Amino acid sequence: MECEAISNGGLPVYGIVLIAIGGIFILTILVLELILLPKRRKLNKELKAELLTHAVITGGSSGIGLAVGHELISQHCKHITLLARNENKLQEAMETLKRHAKSIESPTIISIQSVDVSDAAKITNVASDICSSGNFPVPTILFNVAGASSSAAFVDTDYKEFDRLMNINYLGSVYTTRAFLPYMLTKTAPTESFPKAIVFTSSQAGQLGIYGYTAYSASKYALRGLAEALQMEVGRENISVQVAYPPDTDTPGFEEEQIGKPEETKLISDTSGLFSPER
């Protein structure tokens, strides 16, 4: 026995159903566009403004750290604090950023602090000075950018180089985050309960091991484990933890890395190209 579609005035039932579904879909889009999405956009804008209250950047005197400073000024971040070892370079970076802020009429206030992030005692004191001075709000974003790199075959890598890279790339981020985090926690700063973020700067070599990077890759791999464990602890405090994995970037550190770089490492690195810090 053949089945025929039941019709209503010549229009099959399934046609009526499709029209009804289409109407519901269009109505849903209209509700999102006119009611829900504007509220979400407004909320996102407010959250972004709160997040861009005070950014602290390690390695802020050059390379990726300085580029982050430029971008934050373009986003009209209220306060930026640059941390690095070389005070002269910090002064130059601050003047560069001030000129940029003036050129785009950004209200960003920029300050600097000279410190070695791999020295736990010194970075702890600096964090205390910044967060307890009353001159700036509690940091809302912490960018751990300071780092170093070198490359050599494993058997040609000096024992001290493993210590050096781990101290700067991993422990430098650990010490800095440990120093600033107590001030960022909402339970210690109830009036500063809006969102905050911690960013760790790893590397492509922190995602997979690469020839010649036995010391460097290990120090960058460690950051992922730190970030994942830390996120479980601070997520409920409205703090997000992120890891960036930049490719080879044209920075002073990259130039130093070329000294003694194995040919195999160069060939592998060339396959991904060289990027500018601004990208």
Domain enclosing residue 16, as ranges? 12-50
Residues 89, 151, 170, 220: which is the catalytic one? 220
Q: Answer yes or no: is pLDDT of 181 > 50.
A: yes
Domain assignment of residue 109, yes or no: yes
Give yes or no: 202 in active site: yes
Residue 23 has pLDDT above 80, yes or no: no
Does a structural domain hold residue 7? no
What span, in angstroms and rounded, lies between the C-alpha atoms of 199 and 201? 7
Q: What is the dihedral angle through the alpha carbons of 120, 122, 124, 130, rounded to the nearest 10 degrees? A: -150
Q: Is 175 a catalytic residue?
A: no
Q: Identify the pLDDT of residue 133.
A: 83
| Options 216, 217, 219, 269, the catalytic residue | 216
Give DSSP secondary structure letters for 164-227: HHIIIIIIHHHHHHHHHHHHHSTTT-GGG-S-EEEEEE--GGGTS--TT-HHHHHHHHHHHHHH
Whats the size of the chain, residue-wise? Answer: 279
Instruction: Count the domains in the chain.
Output: 2
Residue 277 lies in a domain: no
Q: Is 187 in the same domain as 123?
A: yes
Q: pLDDT of 222-260, one tens digit each?
A: 999 999 999 999 998 999 999 999 877 767 777 777 777
Report the 10 Å Cβ neighbour count for 103: 9
211 is catalytic: no
Residues 30 and 156 in one domain: no
| 44 and 56 assigned to the same domain | no
